[in-house]
Amino acid sequence: MLNYEILGQLRISGRPGVCAPRARKVETLLSVLLAKSNQVVTTEHLIGEIWGEHPPARASAALYVYVSQLRKLLRGSTENTGDATENSAESPVVTSPRGYSLHVSVDELDADRFTRLYEQGRALHHDRSYGQAANVLREATSLWRGPVFGGFTDSPDVQAYAALLEETRLECLELLMETELLIGRHREVVGQLSALAKEHTLRETFYEYLMTALLRSNRRAEALETFASARQNLVRQLGIEPGSSLRKLHHSILVGEMSDAV
């Protein structure tokens, strides 16, 4: 069984260990096939993803070679073979009349494991099993080692897939922080919320949760400073005032109301 890890620098683990594509074009090929896992990607589409609007004259032949190199990488072999179809039976890279697909089994891709855990945590949260939800959501976020594909997203397909995963990661983090507040871990999450608010300056939910955590930790002045920072960022970057939820929380702090709302 292979493990494809894309929530960070692209790498493949399994026999004989951990490896990664060295050639940029092979890395792009693998990234596109992972973004479209278990789907046939046509030869023409792959050529466009790898070379853009100006492919070389012998792009199909070059793609054939890159597929062969990818099969060799996934097979973990050092033997020198240039025949891409010769090893197709033992390779997860499957040739079809229209193009190629990458067969990825359940849980072989860390992004799929992340999505499954996030959905499981969301269901537990919905059922008000907050302690269990927090554990599952923490496990989901722990799968991330850095930007999707290590930030290497030259291909339009990979860019779109990475953007979708990043948005899901932020949704997962928001739900995790909400859940942590619901189980009384406000002091424990102040640091993480502070980092998230600084990194995602337009994400009002992180400001709101940080203000709530600070307020419950008897750090009222810092909660007010957080609102001022949020407002400054929103006005400067977008020309808008904070939303009603953030303003309402700010008001409750000003008038000395200790809010239990998340």
Question: CA–CA distance from 209 to each of 11, 84, 119, 191, 217 (Å)?
Answer: 34, 53, 21, 12, 12
Residue 93 exposure: Cα atoms within 13 Å on the Cβ side: 25
CA distance 98 to 140: 36
Distance from the Cα of residue 245 to its chain's centroid: 27
Domain ranges for the chain? 3-102, 186-262
CATH H-level superfamily of 186-262 = Tetratricopeptide repeat domain (1.25.40.10)
Give me the CATH code for the 3-102 domain, please. 1.10.10.10
Residue 109 phi/psi, 5-degree rounding, is: -110, 125
Give residue 130's identity as a one-letter amino acid code: Y
Q: Tell me the backbone φ, ψ of residue 93, rounded to 5 degrees.
A: -85, 115
Helical ranges in 102-185 per DSSP H: 110-126, 130-142, 156-182
Classify the phi-psi angles of 17: left when phi > 0, otherwise alpha if psi is within -120 to 50, otherwise beta: left
Q: Where are the alpha helices (DSSP H) in the chain?
A: 24-35, 43-51, 59-75, 110-126, 130-142, 156-182, 186-199, 204-216, 220-238, 244-254
pTM of the shown model:
0.89
Digitized pLDDT (tens) for each residue of the chain, 262 residues in all: 789 999 999 999 876 678 888 899 999 999 999 999 999 999 999 999 999 999 999 999 999 999 999 999 998 733 343 444 444 457 899 999 999 999 999 989 999 999 999 999 999 999 999 999 999 999 999 999 999 999 988 899 999 999 999 999 999 999 999 999 999 999 999 999 999 999 999 999 999 999 999 999 999 999 999 999 999 999 999 999 999 999 999 999 999 876 555 5
Q: What is the pLDDT of residues 199-217, one digit of tens each?
A: 999 999 999 999 999 999 9
pLDDT score recorded for residue 258: 60
Q: List pLDDT tens digits, range 132-151.
A: 999 999 999 999 999 999 99
